[in-house]
Amino acid sequence: MKILFLNGPNLNLLGQREPEVYGRTTLADIEAKVRERAARFNAEIDFRQSNLEGELVGWIQQAKGTFDVIVINAAAYTHTSIALRDAIAGVGVPTIEIHLSNVHAREEFRHKSLIAPVCCGQITGFGQKSYILALEASVYVNETKNTR
């Protein structure tokens, strides 16, 4: 199976700023852990980050026919982007929303996710483990896709 991991704005700064909120692990560290674990599941990973909403929309649109599952940490766009929501709803590839922090325990503006209603599920608050949990959830979603 092929899984597309998408990361939104400012996640390229992980490990360099605000370690009290997001930890000291870099996005490259997380990617390495995801790749290591994916090998056990025989899953192929593509791992990308962009600060641009349109680029993320383009990657979601192009996922059709290439990827079995999308995992997305849309970062701040989670709370603002109708464009990402429409792209996820339109592409027909099962999508899992993830966050490092527990968005429901933070500021009220982070409690609302515009993409949650068009995703299969949400994993939030487990730090870098959210990515590993999403990998496992992707395997489950792919295995059960015909019964969902």
Binding site for ligand CA2 (CB under 6 A): 10-11, 13-14, 17-18, 22, 73, 75-76, 78, 99-101, 103, 110
CA distances from 56 to 37, 79, 84, 131 (A): 24, 15, 7, 18
| Least distance between ligand CA2 and beta carbon 85 (Å) | 15
Instruction: Supply the DSSP symbol for 102.
Output: -
Annotated catalytic residue, options 99, 104, 111, 131: 99
The nearer residue to ligand CA2, 33 or 142, going by C-beta atoms, is 33
- In the complex with ligand CA2, the residue whose CB is nearer, 33 or 110, is 110
- Strand order of the β-sheet with 121-124 is 44-49, 2-7, 69-73, 95-99, 121-124
Q: Please say which residue, 17 or 40, places its beta carbon nearer to ligand CA2.
A: 17
